[in-house]
Amino acid sequence: MHEVSTPSAVDVPEGSSVNDLLAARVRAAGGSTLLERKTTLGGDWVPMTAEAFAREVRAVAKGFVGLGLRPGERVAIMAHTSYEWMVLDFAVWAAGGVSVPVYETSSAEQVAWICSDSGARFAVVETAAHESLVAESRAELPALETCLVLAAGALDALKRAGGAVEDADVEARSRAVAGDDVATIIYTSGTTGRPKGVELTHWAFVSITRNTMATSLRPMVEPPAARTLLFMPLAHVFARFVQVLCVTSGAVVGHVPDAKNLVADLGTFQPTFLLAVPRVFEKVYNASEQRAGTGTSLAVFRWAAKVSIAASRAQDGEGRLTPVLRVQHRVAGLLVYRKLRAAMGGALRYAISGGAPLGTRLGHFYRGIGLTVLEGYGLTETSAPTTVNVPGNTKIGTVGPPVPGASLRISDDGEILVRGDHVFRGYHANPEATAEAFDDGWFRTGDIGTLDEDGHLRITGRKKELIVTAGGKNVAPAVLEDRFRGHPLVSQCVVVGDGKPFIGALVTLDAEMLPGWLATHGLPSMDVAAAATHPTVVAALDRAAARANAAVSRAESIRKIAVLTTDFTEANGYLTPSLKVKRNLVHRDFAAEIEGIYAPSADPARPAAP
């Protein structure tokens, strides 16, 4: 199959805006809880109704109007995921403006580029440190008039600024916003070059949200029980989409700034569905295995994991759910699964995973313990989801069929092309890049994949990341890297070998998981540099390479690995804010280590297990 479409499931007026979605929520259930927030550190979750949230949005929107924001002008928002971020986003829209998210980890140069390219007139940042970053670039930002700081009472300052503005003025602004008006400009955290500003219209958000509500995901996100805790950055389109979806569906949303205290937050908030990237699910599994310790406890955990995977595979017809397997699954539930579910809040039934492939092993493991991870696929340019597995139509190992209103095509060279109302309008002030991104109305994603007989999409990798060995073999690194990262010792893996005689890999160690792993293997404490050459660690990494190689042919398999003592992080510049490796920087800065993989066998790079 080379092309598949899912017809739009709803008739959404083309003039609809995100403002209409909030207004509809207030009309339908204004007295019901829209969100819960912590007003004090470590305090209880305090509910806020849709009506109260709408009043807060209107008060802040009046502030933007009072400061002189004109329809279509841009407001940059730089903060961790929070209630305040949500208020600002909807307030900018209500005032007729365009929100421009900036990752809170951005450098001064990145802040300068995003604010200058977007022409932001106002900026709202979280901390004094963020304000300093803006101040460093003030000379390059002639359009920027005001920078407000949330930690210094930005929301209260905006409310005061709007004191003389009538409610009717904001209502008129809100109603005047058209579907084809730009709602947000999101700068892609590209792995090469300067980020491009993706213009997403109100219609794109409304269309994809309303159509998502028409799928079998609807029961997952509808009241009275549906609730989700957002911890992914709201600067990312995925979290923004889920936030708008919650406003539309009636689900209750909460915010935490990051995943550092996620287990405790899950326990107090008790979400029923969650949004995360595969690395979170890998960490939860690896940490759970590590907490099992050694001996009998570890053996029980690993047995329970195998039973969970087998039971899930049986649902897909990949085996039989025999009476013995049923009994084993019940016993494993009492011994292991219920503890895992409790650690995730106790009420979690579904999770939505995106950003990278999850891997079939983890997909089956989580479904087997009672948590169905629904993998999806999308980009900033598609307002988040383009495909998604849904309850009742899930194929683990795929990212699902197109969402209603979306069409997919696989080009002759394997590239995934997308068309639909949810596709972006263009790159801000960059007509050349916009023209290059489209082929006869189809958006060229740059990803490669295949469609199965049921129209489910399977992602193979990035077109630009394809490796061609000296022998002419095309290798997609994502399959190997995703499997390799599943090992608890591994933080990052970058497959190399373009123009080389065989495939190799650069591997970094997970400093957080290392102490526990060493303890469970009876090894003394050591730092990453010592562990990188320790024979037991080396042997474990060789076995991880062998497991990754099981997914590919001999010609595509990893033959040698080099263990680095420097991890790839956002802080040191090797990861984008959406946690994608900047391959060009890795290849440049670790060129010697890559060459070492292909040096004579006396070189430190080691042959991987066959």
For residue 193, what is the DSSP state?
S
pLDDT of 401 higher than 50 = yes
Residue 294's pLDDT band, with cuts at 50, 70 and 90, is confident
pLDDT of 601 higher than 70 = no
Would you state the pLDDT for residue 189? 66
Cα(357)–Cα(71) distance, rounded to whole angstroms? 40
Per-residue tokens: 603: 């070189």
Domain range summary for the chain, segments of one domain joined by +: 18-177+227-271, 278-463, 466-607
422 within 8 A of 204, measured Cβ to Cβ: yes
> What number is the average pLDDT over the span 195-203?
96
Would you state the pLDDT for residue 603? 45
- Of 312, 304, 360, the closest CA to residue 332 belongs to 304
> What number is the average pLDDT over the span 581-605?
83
Cα(344)–Cα(371) distance, rounded to whole angstroms? 10
> What number is the average pLDDT over the span 187-216?
88
pLDDT of 25 higher than 90 = yes
| Bridge partners, residue 255, by sequence | 230
pLDDT of 191 higher than 80 = no
Q: pLDDT tens, 40-82? A: 877 899 999 999 999 999 999 999 999 999 999 999 999 999 9
Would you state the pLDDT for residue 578? 78
Taking CA atoms, 164 is separated from 9, 93, 169, 221, in Å, by 43, 20, 10, 39
278-463 belongs to which CATH class?
alpha beta
Q: pLDDT tens, 89-125? A: 999 999 999 999 999 988 888 899 999 999 999 999 9
pLDDT of 310 higher than 50 = yes
Does the predicted TM-score (pTM) go above 0.85?
yes
456 Cβ neighbours under 8 A, 6+ residues apart: 387, 389, 395, 398, 399, 400, 401
Cα(28)–Cα(38) distance, rounded to whole angstroms? 26
- Whether 18-177+227-271 and 278-463 share one fold: the answer is yes
Burial class (CB in 10 A: 0-12, 13-18, 19+), 522: exposed
Write the single-letter amino acid at 400.
Answer: G
Would you state the pLDDT for residue 192? 54
Classify 2 in phi/psi space as left (phi over 0), alpha (psi -120 to 50) or beta. Answer: alpha
Of the two residues 282 and 567, the one the predictor is more confident about is: 567
Residue 460's pLDDT band, with cuts at 50, 70 and 90, is confident
Q: Domain 18-177+227-271 classified CATH 3.40.50.12780?
A: yes
| Bridge partners, residue 46, by sequence | 37
Sheet holding 558-564, edge to edge: 490-496, 503-509, 558-564, 606-607
Write the single-letter amino acid at 383.
Answer: S
Would you state the pLDDT for residue 377? 95
Phi, psi of 81 (to 5 degrees): -60, 125
Q: What angle do CA 590, 591, 597 make, to 5 degrees?
A: 95
Q: What is the mean pLDDT of the chain?
A: 93
Cα(458)–Cα(482) distance, rounded to whole angstroms? 14
Taking CA atoms, 395 is separated from 326, 372, 423, 479, in Å, by 22, 11, 25, 17
Q: Which of 182-191, 300-309, 335-344, 454-463 has the lowest mean pLDDT?
A: 182-191
Would you state the pLDDT for residue 604? 44
pLDDT of 307 higher than 90 = yes
Share of the chain above pLDDT 90, in %: 80
**Which of 294-330 are b and which e, b meaning 16 or more Cβ less than 10 Å from the residue's Cβ?**
eeeeeeebeebbebbbbbbbbeeeeeeeeeeeeebbe
Q: What angle do CA 578, 584, 588 make, to 5 degrees?
A: 130
249 within 8 A of 218, measured Cβ to Cβ: yes
Would you state the pLDDT for residue 464? 84
Would you state the pLDDT for residue 522? 92
Write the single-letter amino acid at 480.
Answer: L
> What number is the average pLDDT over the span 565-569?
95
pLDDT of 610 higher than 50 = no
> What number is the average pLDDT over the span 195-217?
94
Q: pLDDT tens, 327-377? A: 999 999 999 999 999 989 999 999 999 877 888 999 999 999 999 999 999
> What number is the average pLDDT over the span 491-502?
94
pLDDT of 609 higher than 60 = no
pLDDT of 190 higher than 80 = no
Helices (H), 137-277: 154-161, 167-176, 202-213, 218-221, 237-249, 262-269
Fold topology of 466-607: GMP Synthetase; Chain A, domain 3 (3.30.300)
Residue 235's pLDDT band, with cuts at 50, 70 and 90, is very high
> What number is the average pLDDT over the span 150-165?
98
Per-residue tokens: 238: 């995925």
Residue 39's pLDDT band, with cuts at 50, 70 and 90, is confident
